[in-house]
Amino acid sequence: MRFLHLHSSFHAGGKELRAAKLINAFGRRVSHTIVSAQPEALGAASAIDSKIDVDYPGDFPPLAGAPLPGRLQRLAQALAGFDLVLTYNWGAMDGVMAHTLFGKKLGLPPLVHHEDGFNEDEANRLKSSRNWYRRIALGRASALVVPSQRLEAIALGVWQQPSWRVQRIANGIDTAAYRAKPPRDVLPRLIKRPGELWLGTLAGLRAVKDLPAMVRAFSGLPEEWQLVILGDGPEREAIAAEAMRLNLAHRVHLPGFVADPAKACGLFDLFALSSRSEQFPISVVEAMATGLAIAAPAVGDIAGMVADVNRRFITLPGDEAAFGAAMLELAKDQKLRQLIGSANREKAFREYDGNAMINAYRAVYSGAMQRDMPR
């Protein structure tokens, strides 16, 4: 089987790493062509098993540009020859539109679209023009997969999608992999010193993640605490500049992307997320499986994801003072962190199993193609 994946970016973020995990799970009997609208943004490629046939074409028609008929037709022609087309978020929506406009004429393969959230330009409010465009573009999609209840409601209401098309699949992980305590020197260029406590996060370094706000909230924590931000992206310099401005450069660390978070999360003593927009962040599930308490804004489904005892530390979006206070209370109370962490771990193992997620995606993709995927 041949699958085509259209991404606006293949940076190592949540949806990209989930796609890599699914590629690995489907095995060597499926080959994959992955298109990144930003050719240099291929960080998630390192998470794909080297034994799997994966191609990154450099001559694929651009995913961005004016949605003129000629351009969309060329894009549609590039979708031919695959068994399944998989598109991701707004950055691939022109590919979805091309499929709807020309799919029947060109005999194109089925298409499954994935929506995982919004970038900075729609973090606070959806754009009406994009809502209209999505409604039309998704007209021939076999399925629209979303991870969160909030996105499901948007898909059914704002985008007016029929209920049969919208499939909600919660993000899952290999929870058992997060049991072991990693060695102190597992991260590149950073060793956990005796007596240090780490506030950690996993995030693509993008504006919507608002990591400078994380630095500001962290500034109130005692001196033994270090902030460790695992991820790569264009906002690295802005984060480092905020740490420098607050005289925290010696306590804020950016060691880069970690392909296997299970080998690093166990070094954290507390987890935080500062995003302005999320839906069902995999990083929160990873922190829960590690047994960590979590401080975060109440964006997307986060408040419902965590254990009940953790919920009061999920603060109002945009309230940096409350976010910092939640972080500080957890940082000062080890027994409270352990109590919450145990409850989070129990819930992660019970509800966010990676095998269930993989089986759900396999069922959606098989249904779109009307044939079973190889095992």
Q: What is the per-residue DSSP string for 171-196?
A: --B-GGGGSSPPPTT-STT--PPTT-
Question: Is residue 240 domain-shared with residue 212, that is, in the same domain?
Answer: yes
Query: If residue 211 lies in a helix (H) or strand (E), which one and from where to where?
Result: helix 211-218
Is residue 27 a part of any domain in this protein? yes
Which residues, listed in sequence order, are joined to residue 315 by a DSSP beta bridge?
Answer: 297
Can you tell me whether residue 373 is helix, strand or coil?
coil
Sign of the torsion angle spanned by Cα atoms 90, 94, 99, 100: positive
* CA neighbor of 89 nearest in space, from 72, 112, 68: 112
How many distinct structural domains can be found in the chain?
Answer: 2
Phi, psi for residue 321 in degrees, rounded to 5: -65, -45
38 neighbors 12 (Cβ within 8 angstroms) = no
Contacts of 301 (CB under 8 A, 6+ apart): 147, 148, 149, 150, 279, 280
User: Residue 195 and residue 206: Cα distance in Å, rounded?
Assistant: 31
CA angle 239, 240, 241 (to 5 degrees): 90
Please state the separation of Cα 348 from the chain's center in Å. 17
Is residue 105 a part of any domain in this protein? yes
User: Residue 87 and residue 93: Cα distance in Å, rounded?
Assistant: 8
- Edge-to-edge strands of the sheet including 225-230? 252-256, 225-230, 197-202, 270-272, 294-297, 314-315
Query: For residue 109, what pLDDT is reported?
Result: 98
CATH of the domain at 290: 3.40.50.2000
Angle between helix 93-106 and helix 128-137 axes, rounded to 10 deg:
30
Token representation of residue 20: 């890599």
User: How many other CB atoms sit within 10 Å of the CB of residue 114?
Assistant: 23
147 neighbors 125 (Cβ within 8 angstroms) = no
Is residue 76 a part of any domain in this protein? yes
Question: Which amino acid does the sequence have at 366?
Answer: S
Question: Is residue 241 domain-shared with residue 159, that is, in the same domain?
Answer: no
Question: Is residue 146 domain-shared with residue 121, that is, in the same domain?
Answer: yes
CA angle 279, 220, 312 (to 5 degrees): 40
Can you tell me whether residue 165 is helix, strand or coil?
coil
Is residue 54 a part of any domain in this protein? yes
Residue 210: which domain range? 175-351
Sign of the torsion angle spanned by Cα atoms 134, 137, 139, 145: negative
Question: Is residue 77 domain-shared with residue 157, that is, in the same domain?
Answer: yes
Question: Which amino acid does the sequence have at 312?
Answer: R
Question: Which amino acid does the sequence have at 143?
Answer: A
Question: Is residue 204 domain-shared with residue 274, that is, in the same domain?
Answer: yes
Question: Is residue 137 domain-shared with residue 269, that is, in the same domain?
Answer: no
User: Residue 283 and residue 279: Cα distance in Å, rounded?
Assistant: 11
Question: Is residue 210 domain-shared with residue 148, that is, in the same domain?
Answer: no
Phi, psi for residue 34 in degrees, rounded to 5: -115, 125
Is residue 375 a part of any domain in this protein? no
User: Residue 165 and residue 42: Cα distance in Å, rounded?
Assistant: 30
CB pairs under 8 A, 24+ apart, for 75-78? 76/101, 76/102, 76/103, 76/106, 76/108, 77/102, 77/106
Is residue 8 a part of any domain in this protein? yes
User: Residue 27 and residue 312: Cα distance in Å, rounded?
Assistant: 41
Q: pLDDT 10s digit of each residue in the chain, 375 long?
A: 999 999 989 988 888 989 999 999 999 999 999 999 988 889 899 999 999 999 999 999 999 999 999 999 999 999 999 999 999 999 999 999 999 999 999 999 999 999 998 877 887 789 999 999 999 999 999 999 999 999 999 999 999 999 999 999 999 999 999 988 899 888 988 999 999 999 999 998 999 999 999 999 999 999 999 999 999 999 999 999 999 999 999 999 999 988 888 989 999 999 999 999 888 899 999 999 999 999 999 998 999 999 999 999 999 999 999 999 999 999 999 999 999 999 999 999 999 989 999 999 999 999 999 999 988
Query: For residue 189, what pLDDT is reported?
Result: 82
Question: Is residue 216 domain-shared with residue 144, that is, in the same domain?
Answer: no
Which residues, listed in sequence order, are joined to residue 34 by a DSSP beta bridge?
Answer: 5
Question: Is residue 335 domain-shared with residue 189, that is, in the same domain?
Answer: yes
109 neighbors 83 (Cβ within 8 angstroms) = yes
Is residue 374 a part of any domain in this protein? no
Question: Is residue 12 domain-shared with residue 159, that is, in the same domain?
Answer: yes
Is residue 43 a part of any domain in this protein? yes
Question: Is residue 363 domain-shared with residue 264, that is, in the same domain?
Answer: no
Question: Is residue 226 domain-shared with residue 337, that is, in the same domain?
Answer: yes
| Tally: H helices and E strands in the chain | 12, 13
